[in-house]
Structure 1
């Protein structure tokens, strides 16, 4: 969704889907927008791939993007195909001696405007008749010639044409069939691991077409944050919404890696724990999926988004998250995260110690909502230290207990890690 200056006026709405559902969704969108003074504007065909093969039906290589508006005052900025220098020279081969500009000429008489085919136009003091139709009214033509007295080109037969100049040419206007933006390949530098991730070029075209700098962009299913990242680069304000903390953490990491620190510092995050009460409320949700968000939030906040969440359903084998620490010869060793939101005791630390030994891990991080008991702390100390004097100058506790209260006060993983959550 793209808003203009006031939040209350929704200017443009884009919905991206595949062809199997597009006809159903269009009926729903028509009922929402067209019945409330809105309008259907475009059905964009995005040719995303040419690598889908089928023997029983035509290959499906496109997605559908619907564009609607709620206000007749919606913004639209035409977009243009890029053109290289060689193509530009071929398209504009003629030199205007008076100015040194290269140009090409186009018909001033066009069939599509045959409603004015019996009208005359005055050019260079001559009355010119046509049986076809004129591109512009006399007033518009006079204004253009006043700005550029060399605009009109006369053919050998004495018919007028108008010039388009190479230095003013933006490219061919883009229509509703987009075949110049491929989907992301598995080796693309943009690829972050999200199966539905869109290329930045696609979002850039959409945002540029329907907004200006300073306008507000809303992505209600922001996933890995492509819309947010592009909106930030194009100097738009933005709001991103997602139901998982992992997505929000990934987006913040993406902003952190690509923009000055002031961007993340001025980004307000809503709906995530800000104090112990809200963290406890999230941990005690009855829904398993929501409770899992507590684990994700705790691990990713403590690791500063440098951990991988264990998404496996069922038994997690004592591993809620993983990160890695450098060892000798650039080898990696595991850091295991466990998160507990209920009552805890020393048996949990012994279990973590067993998991560390089974996984041949370097370090275990035990994150707990409740305060640890003295027995738990003693059990953690008895696990000893991780030492590697060739890499680190200090000892690191083999098992570290971290409370949610400590995380809320800014405690974080203070060992160098190698895994990037974005990959």
Structure 2
């Protein structure tokens, strides 16, 4: 058998299955590929010690495959969601020691870097801040209902997880009104804790308003219900206080609670349709009873959700 050449791999691969919904490999990342697929590609195109470059590395399947096959690697992605996912899967696959074998570029190293990121790309700054606090951020722009992220945690002896909502604010006009809004969000979402992240030090009035909500948690672990932290605090070892242990978030939630569309009246989205002409014979005249059916050219335009369409 060792002298036989075997059957060459064909250009259509059917022996690698897709990642199923219950697969332990599944990260819920929208563009995730099977690990075996990337292993085969890397084995066929490189040798041990070579460098594998993935310029749009997403959830890091190629990175994990390259690491496991003894290749060096470089991964590039535009979002902190990808960085978070890749670091998590590398630790899961190879242990904490893997963090000492690579360098991470582009992530803020100090408060000044974080402020620069906020000025350059506010949405990515929000994601970074929520990740640094151990939570899962809102991953796209748009109305957020006052929530930029969710931190889930467990109290000892309680099966049902609790959660804290995170609101990230910037600019020079952050004040008491933002604390009031956070109070409303915490109440509306039935969250146990609210966290307000600011670029600058909050004023005394903001602190007093937050403190007025009092404490929550068991007698052995009381923490403030509303907590205000700054960019400088994020770089401290324990920037927030929780009455339990943080549940590390998965890569991407299937539909985060703060991103689920609310039930209500169906809205017709504005969308332009295109009708493509089809060459051929002119269709014969059709009739319905004694009445001819006249064929007309129509133009489909952008629909308005304010009017009913027929």
Q: Could you say which TM-score interval applies, normalised by the shorter chain? A: 0.7 to 0.9
Q: TM-score, normalised by structure 2?
A: 0.74
1:293 aligns with 2:120: no
Alignment of 1:15-414 (within 5 A): 166-167=1-2, 171-285=6-120, 290-303=121-134, 307-311=135-139, 313-326=141-154, 329-343=158-172, 344-389=174-219, 393-413=220-240
Cα distance, 1:355 vs structure 2: 1.1
Aligned 8 A contact 1:284 1:341 in 2: no
Cα distance, 1:244 vs structure 2: 0.5
Cα distance, 1:384 vs structure 2: 1.1
SS of corresponding position for 2:246: coil
Measured against aligned partners, the alpha-carbon deviations of 1:246-303 in whole angstroms (never above 9, x if no partner) come to 1111111111222232211332111121222221122123xxxx31000001110121
- CA distance change for structure 1 residues 348 and 284 in 2, over 3 Å: closer, same or farther? same
Residue ranges of structure 1 left out of the alignment (5+ in a row): 1-165
Aligned length: 248
Cα distance, 1:217 vs structure 2: 0.7
SS of corresponding position for 1:270: coil
Cα distance, 1:188 vs structure 2: 1.8
SS of corresponding position for 1:177: coil
User: In 1, distance between residues paired with 2:27 and 2:90?
Assistant: 14
User: In 1, distance between residues paired with 2:56 and 2:164?
Assistant: 31
User: In 1, distance between residues paired with 2:161 and 2:118?
Assistant: 32
Aligned 8 A contact 1:213 1:234 in 2: yes
SS of corresponding position for 1:420: coil
Measured against aligned partners, the alpha-carbon deviations of 1:384-412 in whole angstroms (never above 9, x if no partner) come to 111135xxx31122112221112234444
Cα distance, 1:226 vs structure 2: 0.6
User: In 1, distance between residues paired with 2:24 and 2:115?
Assistant: 38
- CA distance change for structure 1 residues 412 and 217 in 2, over 3 Å: closer, same or farther? farther
SS of corresponding position for 2:150: strand
Cα distance, 1:227 vs structure 2: 0.8
- CA distance change for structure 1 residues 366 and 278 in 2, over 3 Å: closer, same or farther? same
User: In 2, distance between residues paired with 1:213 and 1:386?
Assistant: 54
1:422 aligns with 2:251: yes
Cα distance, 1:361 vs structure 2: 0.6
User: In 2, distance between residues paired with 1:183 and 1:253?
Assistant: 22
SS of corresponding position for 1:401: strand
Cα distance, 1:309 vs structure 2: 1.6
Answer with 1 or 2: which has the greater Rg: 1
User: In 2, distance between residues paired with 1:412 and 1:378?
Assistant: 19
